[in-house]
Amino acid sequence: MPDIDPQQTLARLVTELPGSARIFERWGIDYCCHGQRALQAACADLNVDTRSVIAELDALGEPSPEEWATMAPDELTEHIVCVHHDYLREELPRLIALAEKVHSVHGGRHGELSEVAALVRMTEADLTPHMQREELVVFPAIRQMSTNPDFQPKFGNFDGPLSVLMAEHDNQGRLLDRLSEITADYTPPADGCASYAALYDGLRQLDQDTRLHVHKENNILFPAVKEMEAAVAVSS
């Protein structure tokens, strides 16, 4: 995306410019829960040089949006479940077991491992009911409204459920921020074993996948649902 506008939102950059998410992650810029901020404002909040970030974004070349960036709301719900929910259900139990194993071996020398294990358990405890609410209530309603404009969800309009989901996203963002902080951005210590390295690599992947997952919901799916709902209200 040549001549990147510093007033462009983080959400739009991530959606339209594959690779930008990794750049924002390296700089510690939150593009998922706070994706509607302008790039310049986000950099200023972190005392990050906007020009340096833009230089890295420019190096990515011309935009080529991912397939999910142009999906209709009903398609995007299916994509999120298959790509992100299924990943979390498979990966979180593995990471919990690995975190407990590494803590049992290295916890005496690395006290932070107790909190690492606790944070991974908290992540599973928070995300499991969150995903269930999406899959059993919110996402089916989105699909029905996509095919039937006269459909009325039992919960009324989408404002309440989406606000709750976004608040839960904010909480998950805080858990990830804390995990990154106490693991030195998922850098295993010099005396760490192979399991220690595997744990931190898994946590890094969890962090990256979850932030992209939240971006797709907060900044693409939910705004599209509100637009769809508003269009129905105007036509009725």
pLDDT for residue 153: 85
Q: Let me know: does 123 contact 137? Beta carbons within 8 Å.
A: no
Report helix, strand or coil for 38.
Answer: strand
Question: For residue 206, with 0-12 CB atoms within 10 Å meaning exposed, 13-18 middle and 19 or more buried, which class applies?
Answer: buried
**pLDDT-based confidence at residue 235 (cuts at 50, 70, 90):** low
DSSP-derived 3-state class of residue 9: strand
Tokens read off for 21: 């998410």
The 10s digit of each residue's pLDDT in 57-90 is: 988 887 777 889 899 999 999 999 999 999 999 9
How confident is the model at residue 161, as a pLDDT? 94
pLDDT at residue 206 above 70? yes
pLDDT tens-place string over residues 85-115: 999 999 999 999 999 999 999 999 999 999 9
Q: Which amino acid is at 161?
A: P
Which residues is 38 bridged to in the sheet?
9
- How much of the chain exceeds pLDDT 70, in percent? 97
Mean pLDDT of the chain: 92
Residue 2, classified by CB atoms within 10 Å of its CB into exposed (0-12), middle (13-18) or buried (19+), is: exposed
The 10s digit of each residue's pLDDT in 111-143 is: 999 999 999 999 999 999 999 999 999 999 999
Contacts of 4 (CB under 8 A, 6+ apart): 13, 39, 54, 57, 58
How would residue 1 be classed by pLDDT, with cut points 50, 70 and 90? Answer: very low
Rounded to two decimals, the pTM is 0.86
Per-residue pLDDT, averaged over 7-27, amounts to: 89
- Dig out the tokens for 78 from the structure: 């299916």
User: Could you give the CA distance from residue 178 to residue 206 in angstroms, rounded to a whole number?
Assistant: 13
Residue 213 has pLDDT above 90, yes or no: yes
Separation of alpha carbons 27 and 10, rounded Å:
13
Residue 236: band (very low, low, confident or very high) from pLDDT cuts 50, 70, 90 = low
